[in-house]
Amino acid sequence: MIGPADHLLVALLVLLLPPRAWASFRALRLAAPELRPRLRRRTYIAAAISQWVLCALLALYWARMRRSWGALGVVPALTPGAIGVAIGLVIVLAVMLSRWRSSEAATLAAARDRLSALETMLPHTRGELALFRALSVTAGVCEELLFRGFLIWYLGHYTGVIQAALLSSLAFGVGHAYQGPRGIAVTALLGTFFSGMYLLTGSLVLPMLIHALMDLHAGWLGFRAFGDGAAGDAAPGAAPA
Protein backbone atom coordinates (compact mmCIF):
# COMPACT_ATOMS: atom_id res chain seq x y z
CA MET A 1 0.00 0.00 0.00
CA ILE A 2 1.31 3.41 -0.96
CA GLY A 3 1.63 5.95 1.83
CA PRO A 4 2.30 9.71 2.15
CA ALA A 5 6.04 9.13 2.49
CA ASP A 6 6.07 7.42 -0.91
CA HIS A 7 4.39 10.41 -2.54
CA LEU A 8 6.89 12.72 -0.84
CA LEU A 9 9.88 10.75 -2.11
CA VAL A 10 8.50 10.79 -5.66
CA ALA A 11 8.06 14.56 -5.40
CA LEU A 12 11.68 14.91 -4.28
CA LEU A 13 12.95 12.77 -7.16
CA VAL A 14 10.82 14.40 -9.87
CA LEU A 15 10.45 17.99 -8.68
CA LEU A 16 13.40 18.80 -6.39
CA LEU A 17 16.44 16.94 -7.70
CA PRO A 18 16.39 18.23 -11.32
CA PRO A 19 16.49 21.97 -10.44
CA ARG A 20 19.01 21.27 -7.67
CA ALA A 21 21.34 19.49 -10.10
CA TRP A 22 20.84 22.24 -12.69
CA ALA A 23 21.69 24.95 -10.15
CA SER A 24 24.86 23.10 -9.10
CA PHE A 25 26.04 22.71 -12.69
CA ARG A 26 25.22 26.34 -13.51
CA ALA A 27 27.20 27.52 -10.49
CA LEU A 28 30.18 25.45 -11.67
CA ARG A 29 29.92 26.75 -15.22
CA LEU A 30 29.71 30.40 -14.14
CA ALA A 31 32.36 30.22 -11.42
CA ALA A 32 35.76 31.76 -11.95
CA PRO A 33 38.35 29.15 -13.01
CA GLU A 34 40.26 29.46 -9.73
CA LEU A 35 37.11 28.72 -7.74
CA ARG A 36 36.01 25.67 -9.71
CA PRO A 37 38.23 23.04 -8.01
CA ARG A 38 36.79 23.74 -4.57
CA LEU A 39 33.26 24.02 -5.97
CA ARG A 40 33.64 20.72 -7.85
CA ARG A 41 34.69 18.91 -4.68
CA ARG A 42 31.79 20.41 -2.74
CA THR A 43 29.37 19.44 -5.50
CA TYR A 44 30.60 15.84 -5.59
CA ILE A 45 30.36 15.47 -1.81
CA ALA A 46 26.93 17.13 -1.55
CA ALA A 47 25.51 15.00 -4.37
CA ALA A 48 26.80 11.78 -2.80
CA ILE A 49 25.53 12.64 0.67
CA SER A 50 22.07 13.63 -0.57
CA GLN A 51 21.66 10.39 -2.52
CA TRP A 52 22.76 8.17 0.37
CA VAL A 53 20.46 10.04 2.75
CA LEU A 54 17.48 9.49 0.44
CA CYS A 55 18.33 5.79 0.10
CA ALA A 56 18.77 5.40 3.86
CA LEU A 57 15.39 7.02 4.51
CA LEU A 58 13.81 4.80 1.85
CA ALA A 59 15.32 1.67 3.40
CA LEU A 60 14.18 2.62 6.90
CA TYR A 61 10.66 3.38 5.71
CA TRP A 62 10.58 0.17 3.65
CA ALA A 63 11.59 -1.88 6.69
CA ARG A 64 9.09 -0.09 8.90
CA MET A 65 6.30 -0.87 6.44
CA ARG A 66 7.53 -4.50 6.28
CA ARG A 67 7.58 -4.51 2.53
CA SER A 68 9.29 -7.16 0.47
CA TRP A 69 12.90 -6.31 -0.39
CA GLY A 70 12.45 -8.27 -3.58
CA ALA A 71 9.82 -5.73 -4.67
CA LEU A 72 12.52 -3.06 -4.38
CA GLY A 73 14.92 -5.09 -6.52
CA VAL A 74 17.72 -5.42 -3.97
CA VAL A 75 17.64 -9.21 -3.65
CA PRO A 76 20.25 -10.86 -5.93
CA ALA A 77 18.72 -13.24 -8.46
CA LEU A 78 20.63 -15.89 -10.40
CA THR A 79 18.41 -16.06 -13.46
CA PRO A 80 19.23 -16.96 -17.08
CA GLY A 81 18.85 -13.28 -17.89
CA ALA A 82 21.35 -12.30 -15.19
CA ILE A 83 23.87 -14.87 -16.43
CA GLY A 84 23.51 -13.63 -20.01
CA VAL A 85 23.94 -9.98 -18.99
CA ALA A 86 26.99 -10.83 -16.87
CA ILE A 87 28.64 -12.64 -19.78
CA GLY A 88 27.85 -9.73 -22.09
CA LEU A 89 29.35 -7.31 -19.57
CA VAL A 90 32.63 -9.23 -19.44
CA ILE A 91 32.84 -9.22 -23.25
CA VAL A 92 32.11 -5.50 -23.51
CA LEU A 93 34.74 -4.65 -20.87
CA ALA A 94 37.33 -6.76 -22.67
CA VAL A 95 36.58 -5.05 -26.00
CA MET A 96 36.70 -1.57 -24.43
CA LEU A 97 40.04 -2.27 -22.75
CA SER A 98 41.48 -3.64 -25.99
CA ARG A 99 40.35 -0.60 -27.98
CA TRP A 100 41.71 1.78 -25.35
CA ARG A 101 45.13 0.19 -25.45
CA SER A 102 45.28 0.15 -29.23
CA SER A 103 44.01 3.69 -29.87
CA GLU A 104 44.35 5.77 -26.71
CA ALA A 105 44.94 9.07 -28.54
CA ALA A 106 41.87 8.62 -30.74
CA THR A 107 39.77 7.61 -27.75
CA LEU A 108 40.79 10.73 -25.83
CA ALA A 109 40.14 12.97 -28.84
CA ALA A 110 36.65 11.52 -29.18
CA ALA A 111 36.12 11.93 -25.42
CA ARG A 112 37.10 15.61 -25.55
CA ASP A 113 34.55 16.20 -28.28
CA ARG A 114 31.78 14.17 -26.62
CA LEU A 115 32.30 15.46 -23.08
CA SER A 116 33.22 19.08 -23.82
CA ALA A 117 29.84 20.41 -22.65
CA LEU A 118 30.37 18.73 -19.28
CA GLU A 119 34.04 19.62 -18.88
CA THR A 120 33.52 21.88 -15.86
CA MET A 121 31.88 19.13 -13.81
CA LEU A 122 34.38 16.38 -14.63
CA PRO A 123 37.42 15.71 -12.40
CA HIS A 124 40.60 17.65 -13.20
CA THR A 125 42.94 16.45 -10.44
CA ARG A 126 43.63 13.11 -8.80
CA GLY A 127 41.91 14.33 -5.65
CA GLU A 128 38.82 15.24 -7.62
CA LEU A 129 39.02 11.91 -9.46
CA ALA A 130 38.94 10.04 -6.13
CA LEU A 131 35.82 11.95 -5.10
CA PHE A 132 34.25 11.42 -8.51
CA ARG A 133 34.85 7.68 -8.20
CA ALA A 134 33.01 7.70 -4.87
CA LEU A 135 30.19 9.66 -6.52
CA SER A 136 30.11 7.19 -9.42
CA VAL A 137 29.61 4.26 -7.07
CA THR A 138 27.00 6.28 -5.21
CA ALA A 139 25.12 7.03 -8.43
CA GLY A 140 25.29 3.40 -9.51
CA VAL A 141 23.75 2.17 -6.28
CA CYS A 142 21.48 5.03 -5.26
CA GLU A 143 20.07 6.15 -8.61
CA GLU A 144 19.23 2.58 -9.54
CA LEU A 145 17.55 2.00 -6.18
CA LEU A 146 15.58 5.25 -6.40
CA PHE A 147 14.70 5.51 -10.08
CA ARG A 148 14.48 1.83 -10.98
CA GLY A 149 13.70 -0.05 -7.79
CA PHE A 150 11.45 2.44 -6.02
CA LEU A 151 9.99 4.52 -8.85
CA ILE A 152 9.03 1.53 -11.00
CA TRP A 153 7.41 -0.06 -7.93
CA TYR A 154 5.53 3.17 -7.20
CA LEU A 155 4.37 3.84 -10.76
CA GLY A 156 3.43 0.18 -11.16
CA HIS A 157 0.52 0.82 -8.82
CA TYR A 158 -1.00 3.10 -11.46
CA THR A 159 0.25 1.62 -14.75
CA GLY A 160 1.60 -1.61 -16.16
CA VAL A 161 5.22 -2.47 -15.44
CA ILE A 162 6.44 -1.53 -18.94
CA GLN A 163 4.79 1.87 -18.75
CA ALA A 164 6.20 2.33 -15.25
CA ALA A 165 9.69 1.52 -16.52
CA LEU A 166 9.37 4.01 -19.37
CA LEU A 167 8.04 6.76 -17.11
CA SER A 168 10.82 6.19 -14.59
CA SER A 169 13.35 6.43 -17.43
CA LEU A 170 11.82 9.74 -18.51
CA ALA A 171 12.11 11.02 -14.94
CA PHE A 172 15.72 9.85 -14.90
CA GLY A 173 16.40 11.81 -18.08
CA VAL A 174 14.74 14.97 -16.75
CA GLY A 175 16.88 14.61 -13.62
CA HIS A 176 19.88 15.22 -15.89
CA ALA A 177 18.41 18.32 -17.54
CA TYR A 178 21.56 20.25 -16.63
CA GLN A 179 23.24 18.35 -19.49
CA GLY A 180 20.90 19.94 -22.03
CA PRO A 181 18.35 18.38 -24.40
CA ARG A 182 20.83 15.85 -25.74
CA GLY A 183 21.78 14.86 -22.19
CA ILE A 184 18.13 14.34 -21.28
CA ALA A 185 17.63 12.10 -24.31
CA VAL A 186 20.80 10.09 -23.71
CA THR A 187 20.17 9.54 -20.00
CA ALA A 188 16.52 8.67 -20.65
CA LEU A 189 17.70 6.01 -23.10
CA LEU A 190 20.22 4.79 -20.55
CA GLY A 191 17.42 4.67 -17.99
CA THR A 192 15.40 2.54 -20.39
CA PHE A 193 18.42 0.26 -20.84
CA PHE A 194 18.85 -0.12 -17.07
CA SER A 195 15.12 -0.67 -16.62
CA GLY A 196 15.13 -3.39 -19.25
CA MET A 197 18.10 -5.02 -17.58
CA TYR A 198 16.33 -4.88 -14.21
CA LEU A 199 13.18 -6.47 -15.61
CA LEU A 200 15.23 -9.07 -17.47
CA THR A 201 17.43 -10.10 -14.54
CA GLY A 202 14.90 -9.61 -11.72
CA SER A 203 17.40 -7.68 -9.60
CA LEU A 204 19.13 -4.30 -9.45
CA VAL A 205 22.55 -5.83 -8.77
CA LEU A 206 23.79 -5.83 -12.39
CA PRO A 207 22.20 -2.48 -13.32
CA MET A 208 23.92 -0.96 -10.27
CA LEU A 209 27.26 -2.46 -11.27
CA ILE A 210 27.05 -1.39 -14.92
CA HIS A 211 25.78 2.10 -14.02
CA ALA A 212 28.71 2.59 -11.63
CA LEU A 213 31.22 1.30 -14.20
CA MET A 214 29.88 3.66 -16.87
CA ASP A 215 30.20 6.67 -14.56
CA LEU A 216 33.67 5.57 -13.44
CA HIS A 217 34.70 5.31 -17.09
CA ALA A 218 33.29 8.77 -17.88
CA GLY A 219 35.15 10.27 -14.92
CA TRP A 220 38.40 8.61 -15.97
CA LEU A 221 38.01 9.82 -19.55
CA GLY A 222 37.25 13.34 -18.30
CA PHE A 223 40.35 13.32 -16.12
CA ARG A 224 42.55 12.09 -18.99
CA ALA A 225 40.96 14.46 -21.51
CA PHE A 226 40.71 17.70 -19.52
CA GLY A 227 42.60 17.40 -16.26
CA ASP A 228 46.03 16.52 -14.92
CA GLY A 229 45.70 13.14 -16.66
CA ALA A 230 45.85 14.93 -20.01
CA ALA A 231 49.55 15.50 -19.40
CA GLY A 232 50.08 11.77 -19.73
CA ASP A 233 51.11 11.09 -16.14
CA ALA A 234 48.61 8.23 -15.84
CA ALA A 235 49.51 4.81 -17.10
CA PRO A 236 48.11 4.08 -20.57
CA GLY A 237 45.37 1.52 -20.52
CA ALA A 238 44.62 1.99 -16.83
CA ALA A 239 41.02 1.39 -15.88
CA PRO A 240 38.95 2.84 -13.03
CA ALA A 241 38.62 0.72 -9.94
Mean pLDDT for the chain? 89
**Listed residue (149, 158, 186, 159) closest to 170, CA to CA:** 186
- Region 175-202: mean pLDDT is 92
Buried b (16+ CB within 10 A) or exposed e, 93-130: eeeeeeebeeeeeebbeebbeebeebebbbbbeeebbe
74 pLDDT band, cuts 50/70/90, is very high
- pLDDT, tens digit, 9 for 90 and up, residues 21-51: 999 999 999 999 999 999 999 999 999 999 9
Model confidence, pTM: 0.88
Comparing 118 with 239, the larger pLDDT belongs to 118
